[in-house]
Structure 1
Amino acid sequence: MALPPPDPQFVLRGTGAAVHTIHFSCRGEESHVPVLFSGSENGFIHVWNLKTHRVDTALDGHGRKSVYCVETMGGKDRLLSQGRDQRICLWDLAGGRTSVVDSVFTENVGFCRCSLLKVAQGRWLMAMAAKALEEVQVLELPSKTSVCTLKPEVGAKLGMPMCLKLWQLNCSSQPLLLAGYEDGSVILWNVTMGKALSQLVCHQEPLMSLDFDSEKAKGISGSSEKVLSIWSLNEQQNLQVCKTHSLVNAGVSDITIRPDKKILATAGWDHRIRIFGWKKMKPLAVLDYHTATVNCVSFSDHKNPSERLLAAGSRDHRISIWSIYAQT
């Protein structure tokens, strides 16, 4: 008989608005306090202390416009945030500072989260939706040098980029980008050459989220439909649909594969978080706590597996924190 789903380990309250993005920073020295960054509709980024379950710092850098992406750059003192003010901000949080040290004006009115990839010590690639409707721009950070602009073929009618994932097989291989579009397609791009390698129609509706497991060369995507699409990349770098997984209710806001590649979590429009085994897509749990759409899910990066957590941010202004590692 299946175990009943657990309750949240704890709940973070006090954002004052819908939570659109979350990101853990839990690695570091013994004295390092694990934190969770969250971005909200009211333009604030909250830095949550996971020991006290309270906000240590509230950052205000997006003119009170919704923040829909937060990522750390090599530690909790360097933060990147993206907002509906069409700005991507780089923050210096070292020594208690709360300052924006640089920013990039995206000129894009959508809500496609940018994607970061560390390519060398102190050097990152960042992919973001560009000003032109179907285009993706790739910059190098912190220099903000343009690497390439990824333009689909004339007449492709892909619509806007909806979700992006930069990745590389290893530090010596070429960086690649998976981009999900409004027409339901996923395209694999070679960033160095600025060239599309493969295209696959995965959904009938716009992609809302995707994640990719480079070790298994397998990815997963969700849309506003009642289906998850699982696809793979063969040795010729062609995308192929493996299978689809039907959902009870329509709408997936976010998908994330746990770093150990054993399980994945989805954020549902039906207020629920679903956990699956990644190998065979076996449903493992339905976490039912929130009272509105779950917008984002994220696994923590604790070194010790027994300490690792799952967080979910919702339109109900709350962030639920779950410990599901004992069961997996």
Structure 2
Amino acid sequence: MSKRATPDPVAVLRGHRASVTDVSFHPFNPILFSCSSDGEVRIWDTLQHRTLSSSWLHSAAHGIVSVATTPSLPTNQFLRKPKFIQIVYACSQGRDGTVKVWDFSDAGLSRIPLLTIETNTYHFCKLSTVKTPSALSKNGKESEFRRTPNGEIPEDKKDYDDQPCFESCEDNMHHEGLQYVALSGENSSQVEIWDLKSAERFVQLPSNITSNSSSVGNKDRGMCMALQLFLPSESQGFLNVLAGYEDGSMLWWDVRNPGVPLTTVKFHSEPVLSICIDGSCNGGISGAADDKIVIYSLEHSTGTCVFKKEISLERPGISGSSIRPDGKIAATAGWDHRIRIYNYRKGNALAILKYHRATCNAVTYSSDSKLMASASEDTTVGLWELYPPQI
């Protein structure tokens, strides 16, 4: 009996001249952003499978580590704009020690960034914007998510209730989503959270590391290699971070206690290279330089990260991972040129995609769960339609 044929991508996006390091879908429209190691960002029409715009946003000598998109802007003027205006901004992280925020309009990026943050970080760890629960209650919890990461209500929002411009908690969560990003810090064993509204570093995790020393809890962990910044509904508006380190450990941080993590686990024996939290912010998957993928749950009542399932790999190395917004499917990007698809709830393998001819660096899903994009060192981006969500 012959094996079932490997699914092919519905389209292959070509145009990059160097390794494609990351991809991010537009939150509303059929548009995809991709970035490469030579400093280029491309914007693609995922319906017509063509380039809409291309710009070198960082220098070719340093390249771009990651790109993210968000439907909000870290400036006071955005707070007063009507809800129906859908504004999207791209955030790019270069290995030149900067993070830049770009205005996206008319299918193009301005060559002059709205904001440039000098982070002085030169690592390969990708930045993380805020993951928020995809299904939010609207039972009076809006004020919790109008706070800053330390729980305070910003001065420019204290009259917010008198002149509301958002109608739901979900919209406020999206607004906060761009305002903060997490990075591997200038001290590579630290996590830094930056406020893009003020272009200032908000907090360092742990908070007790100096440039010449390491805290007891981090001295043997090595560099921070993977991050996920998130805002679970149980946190009362305070940011949380799940961080993966060079020694294979993962630490769960709450900014209310920047000196000590909520919990520490070590599911991997090699550096953790990818962390993804699901749409409920109650669990996720991790990939590393070893030969396994781990599915875990986040127990908010006890502040513990609980092992659920280990998936063994024939070949080691996972560069990226993504969980579909509907929480049913997960995907990983491997060093062995493969994209692997799993049933996220059960942990069983569904497909191995063998199109790419070099290391796969990233994989991501569209907000409607219909499309998946994969990025590879072979300079291509694959678009896939697998296991479509039930409507």
Q: Deviations over 1:254-300 (max 9, x none)?
A: 01111100010000111111100011111101111011111110111
Structure with the larger helix share:
2
Alignment-derived partner of residue 324 in structure 1? 386
Gaps of 5+ in 2: 72-85, 133-144, 147-171, 210-214
Alignment-derived partner of residue 298 in structure 1? 364
Cα displacement (A) at 1:116:
1.2
AA of the residue aligned to 1:290: H
Change (3 A) 1:282 1:327: farther
Higher Cα Rg, which structure: 2
Alpha-carbon separation, structure 1, partners of 2:348 and 2:273: 22
Cα displacement (A) at 1:155:
5.7
Q: Does 1:280 align with 2:281?
A: no
Alignment-derived partner of residue 164 in structure 1? 227
Alignment-derived partner of residue 63 in structure 2? 66
Q: Does 1:199 align with 2:196?
A: no
Alignment-derived partner of residue 80 in structure 1? 91
Alignment-derived partner of residue 116 in structure 2? 103
Alpha-carbon separation, structure 2, partners of 1:80 and 1:255: 19
Alpha-carbon separation, structure 1, partners of 2:351 and 2:371: 15
AA of the residue aligned to 1:85: D
Aligned mate of 2:287, from 222, 227, 238: 222
Alignment-derived partner of residue 313 in structure 1? 375
User: Secondary structure at the residue paired with 2:238?
Assistant: coil
Q: Does 1:146 align with 2:201?
A: yes
Q: Deviations over 1:276-325 (max 9, x none)?
A: 001111110111101111111011113xx5xx111101111111111013
Q: Deviations over 1:92-114 (max 9, x none)?
A: 12245513111111212211111
Alpha-carbon separation, structure 1, partners of 2:196 and 2:114: 12
AA of the residue aligned to 1:41: S
User: Secondary structure at the residue paired with 1:245?
Assistant: strand
Q: Does 1:57 align with 2:50?
A: no
Q: Deviations over 1:226-248 (max 9, x none)?
A: 11122222321122322311011
Alignment-derived partner of residue 26 in structure 2? 25
Alignment-derived partner of residue 5 in structure 1? 6
AA of the residue aligned to 2:102: W
Alpha-carbon separation, structure 1, partners of 2:217 and 2:331: 35
Do 1:19 and 1:314's aligned partners in 2 also have CA atoms closer than 8 Å?
Answer: yes
Alpha-carbon separation, structure 1, partners of 2:322 and 2:389: 18
State which drifts further: 143-152 or 154-163.
143-152
Alpha-carbon separation, structure 2, partners of 1:77 and 1:310: 20
Alpha-carbon separation, structure 1, partners of 2:248 and 2:15: 36
* TM-score normalized by the length of structure 2: 0.77
User: Secondary structure at the residue paired with 2:129?
Assistant: strand
User: Secondary structure at the residue paired with 1:93?
Assistant: strand
User: Secondary structure at the residue paired with 1:100?
Assistant: coil
AA of the residue aligned to 2:204: T
Structure with the larger strand share:
1
State which drifts further: 45-54 or 200-209.
45-54
State which drifts further: 205-214 or 310-319.
205-214
Do 2:279 and 2:325's aligned partners in 1 also have CA atoms closer than 8 Å?
Answer: no
Q: Over aligned residue pairs, what C-alpha RMSD do you find? A: 2.1
Cα displacement (A) at 1:128:
0.9
Gaps of 5+ in 1: none
Alpha-carbon separation, structure 2, partners of 1:214 and 1:236: 20
Q: Deviations over 1:112-148 (max 9, x none)?
A: 1111127554442211111113111112222223321
Identity of aligned residues (%): 34
Do 2:27 and 2:70's aligned partners in 1 also have CA atoms closer than 8 Å?
Answer: no
Alignment-derived partner of residue 238 in structure 2? 174
Cα displacement (A) at 1:57:
1.0
Alpha-carbon separation, structure 2, partners of 1:327 and 1:88: 34
Alignment-derived partner of residue 252 in structure 2? 188
Aligned mate of 2:331, from 265, 271, 278: 265
* TM-score normalized by the length of structure 1: 0.91
